[in-house]
Amino acid sequence: MQELLSNQELLWVLTVIYDLGLAILLYRFFGKHGLYAAVILGIVLGNLQGGKVSQLEVFGYSFTASMGAILYSGIYFATDVLNEKFGKEEATRAVMLGFVANIAVMVTLWLSIQFRPSDIAGSALEVHNAISTLASYSPIFVIGSLTAYLVSQRFDVWIFHRLKVLTKGKYLWLRNNVSTISSQALDTFLYTFVWVIAGELSFATAFGIALTKYVFKVIIALIDTIFIYWVREWEI
């Protein structure tokens, strides 16, 4: 199993399948409420994994990418399905739920590390330190991440709905890809400036990572178009 997972190309494909598959299963069993859950899980897990930057070898090319880039992409699938099946208001509601959930998680993590760890068990300090690492993002990163999410997601919902009206409900592939690819660009490059402003990376390095993340997101957007056509026909 370990040897199988060490194959970066396969691991990337499996993670994409997992991310989209989870959103599809949640929708299948819980309807629009499952899509709400997919958005909340996507933003929370994506941000927790945002600092997990890995060097990937994919199809012979070496990339520096954040794990959050893959997990975050499933959010667009969920909001586009909500927009297509249930309307703009439901998609917007899911975006705002994700926004509030992310704030709640960050506040809860911050509160958690204010409690002193017990010495009753050796693992208590390890757990405390692990939570401290997750909760110790600078305010610039927290505010930047939330801003990029809110701006890009609201734009995604707006342009998807606008294109649906302009095309009179035709060309689902067009509104899915245009809305996702354009809003992904907004999110990715807004967050790039956060790294630069925080002084963590030079503009050139941050832009290189952002470009890689964006390529991954575009590929996933093209892939999820197939699944949106599939689930659109479900009567749930």
What single string gives the DSSP state of each residue in 154-168? Answer: HHHHHHHHHHHHHTT
Provide the whole-model pTM.
0.87
pLDDT at 59: 63
Give the pLDDT confidence score for residue 178 in this predicted structure.
94
* Among the listed residues 127, 105, 107, the one whose alpha carbon sits nearest the alpha carbon of residue 117: 127
Residue 206, pLDDT score: 76
Structurally, the chain folds into a number of domains equal to: 1
The whole domain housing 39 covers 2-232
Residue 201, phi then psi, degrees to nearest 5: -135, 155
The per-residue pLDDT for range 89-120, each reduced to its tens digit, is 999 999 999 999 989 988 898 898 888 887 77
Q: What is the pLDDT of residue 57?
A: 67
Q: Which stretches in the chain have pLDDT values below 70?
A: 1-5, 50-51, 56-61, 63-66, 121-122, 137-139, 198-200
pLDDT of residue 139: 66
| The pLDDT of residue 138 | 60
Three-state DSSP state, 50: coil
